[in-house]
Amino acid sequence: MDENITITPAPQDKSVFVTVIAWIFIVDSVYAVIVGLLQSIMFAMMEMPTDQMRETFNEPQARELFSATQRFVMLHMELLFFLFWIAAVVVLICSIGLLKRKNWARISFIIILAIGICWCVFGIFLTREFAPVMPFDPEIPDLTKFNKISIAIRLSANLMALAHAILFGWIIYKLNSKDIRREFGRKV
């Protein structure tokens, strides 16, 4: 018998689930990174009167019209866009790692999805801030139409947030399954 023959184990089969999830998030995060760069260019080209905005939103009339959350978003829009861009870059890196079956990427992706679930739940409460329902006033007939639109916006946003939270939970469940962990080289 020839002693130079070596037997190599068959490569671990790669699940379609992980490949599809990785590619979906790669495409989505590349798109988000590009949008983030375009937003940065837009903010760089626009001369935002930040000091004037800060003064305006801190006036008593603005405090009555806008909630603290709305004022925070308006005053820190550039920072929020930058943080979303950073998140998109992190998701892109983890998605590529997921495609390459790196266990650190699987764990990071689970953490990102758990944060995503929290964000979805937070978003349900945030829709109250940005799509308010006005008190009923029969003297203003258009207010009823506005309220119907506002309720429809809140309802659809809440349903989308709930659907995303459920989807993220299911992906976390699948990424923690024995077969997927084995695929990433983890002993089960």
Domains of the chain by residue range? 14-100, 106-188
Whole-number Å distance between alpha carbons of 41 and 127: 28
pLDDT at 110: 97
CA pair distance 25, 112, nearest whole angstrom? 12
Determine the pLDDT at residue 17: 95
Q: What is the pLDDT of residues 111-124, one digit of tens each?
A: 999 999 999 999 88
Element (H, E) at 162: helix 141-175
Query: Residue 24's pLDDT is what?
Result: 97
The pLDDT value given to residue 123: 86
- Which residues are CB-contacts of 150 (< 8 A; sequence separation ≥ 6)? 131, 132, 133, 134
Q: Which two tokens stand for residue 116?
A: 């995503």
- Torsion over CA: 87, 23, 16, 182 (sign): negative
pTM for the complete prediction?
0.78
Q: Which pLDDT score is estimated for 63?
A: 77
101: phi > 0 → left, psi -120 to 50 → alpha, else beta; which?
Answer: left
Task: With a cut of 80, say whether residue 22 has pLDDT above it.
Answer: yes
pLDDT computed for residue 134 by the predictor: 54
- The pLDDT of residue 127 is 78
Q: Report which of 43, 47, 65, 69 is spatially closest to residue 56, judged by C-alpha positions.
A: 65
